[in-house]
Amino acid sequence: MSGVFIANNESINLASKIIQNGGLVAFPTETVYGLGANVYNSKAVASIFEAKGRPRFNPLISHIAEIDFLKEYALTDQRVFALGRRFWPGPLTFVLKRIDNNPALDLACAGLKTVTVRMPNHQVALDLIKKSGVPIVAPSANKSQTISPTTAEHVFESLGSNVDMILDGGACSVGVESTIIDLTEKNVVMLRAGGVSKEELEDFLNEKVLISHGNPDMPSSPGQLLRHYAPSHPLRINATQKQDDEFFIGFGCVNECDLNLSPSGDLKEAAAHLFSFMRLADSQTKYNKIAIAPIPQIGLGRAINDRILRASYQK
């Protein structure tokens, strides 16, 4: 029954049955579209890695719809719940210590003693999780290391019949993946920049948030591979002007660009456009390369710069 279905009560009910029966469902979140399976069904989780061509040492994010569910499989404390109440549902993911040795979680957790979890801020995603009755483990719904999908059409173009069902809930509002923070030690450590900024976290916690880029050969969270979110065309970053063979994506007051992430310099608008503009640039046959203008390294700019740096990585 693969195909794209407009998200409504009937299609979400059908999708929840697919999740319960060990199938794969692509669904919208506020960040990007996710490729979901029952976190406790190791065969279903394995099929995510197969469909994406994703390395199995790369852990996956579990999505929940109720904050109290954390107590079932993760060590929690007052700080965890305070952050959850402030930023959930929303684009913030926690890395927490697992409280059990349930082997069903091993593949989703890449064999680590930690679990990676968030609550998405999208009604379709929340309804699907609740009706499925289990946490849904879901990386981005695209082939591994390619541009992340922000529409149902992007999912179909990348994965096609490898997904049992695609729920179409419209374009994603944030457009870049969630921020990931490690809460297993005393200091809060940002492992991936995303939809919640370092400044927002520090303002709430009233403490410094450390930054770690992790080990790309042994990731402790998603998004730490050196090459990720990548188009097929070579990508040049921090470009100040267009070259003859380039599709040029601008930002702010940039002349002669083919597309502009945000003419007004709005980082939120730029993040929402990033992946869709990269996809459009990559589809052009007139150009052999892509260039992107400099993005300020503040707020959401950290997340945007992280994505384009990984997208531009060449071995």
For residue 4, the surrounding DSSP H or E stretch is: strand 4-6
CATH number of the domain encompassing residue 243: 3.40.50.11030
CB atoms within 10 A of CB 173: 17
- In this prediction, residue 310 has a pLDDT band, given cuts at 50, 70 and 90, of confident
Q: Which residues pair with 182 in a beta bridge?
A: 95, 189
CA distance 59 to 115: 8
* Whether 145 and 241 share a structural domain: no
Please report whether residue 277 resides in a domain. Answer: yes
Domain end marker among 176, 204, 222:
176
Please report whether residue 208 resides in a domain. Answer: no
* Domain count for the chain: 2
* Whether 18 and 165 share a structural domain: yes
* Whether 154 and 240 share a structural domain: no
Which pLDDT score is estimated for 221? 62
List pLDDT tens digits, range 57-90.
678 999 999 998 888 889 999 999 999 999 999 9
* Whether 252 and 143 share a structural domain: no
Burial class of residue 248, CB neighbours in 10 A (0-12, 13-18, 19+): buried
Answer positive or negative: Cα dihedral of 281, 234, 33, 197.
Answer: negative
* Whether 239 and 172 share a structural domain: no
- How confident is the prediction for the chain on average, in pLDDT? 91
Please report whether residue 202 resides in a domain. Answer: no
Give the range of the structural domain holding residue 18, as residue numbers without chain letter.
Answer: 4-176
* Whether 73 and 140 share a structural domain: yes
* Whether 254 and 171 share a structural domain: no
* Whether 109 and 20 share a structural domain: yes
Answer positive or negative: Cα dihedral of 298, 302, 304, 305.
Answer: positive
Please report whether residue 181 resides in a domain. Answer: no
Domain end marker among 176, 193, 217:
176
* Whether 281 and 154 share a structural domain: no
Region 96-115: mean pLDDT is 85
Q: What is the DSSP string of 155-224?
A: HHHHHGGGSSEEEE--S-SS-SPPEEEE-SSSS-EEEE--SS-HHHHHHHHTSPPEE----TTS-SSTT-
CA distance 315 to 312: 10
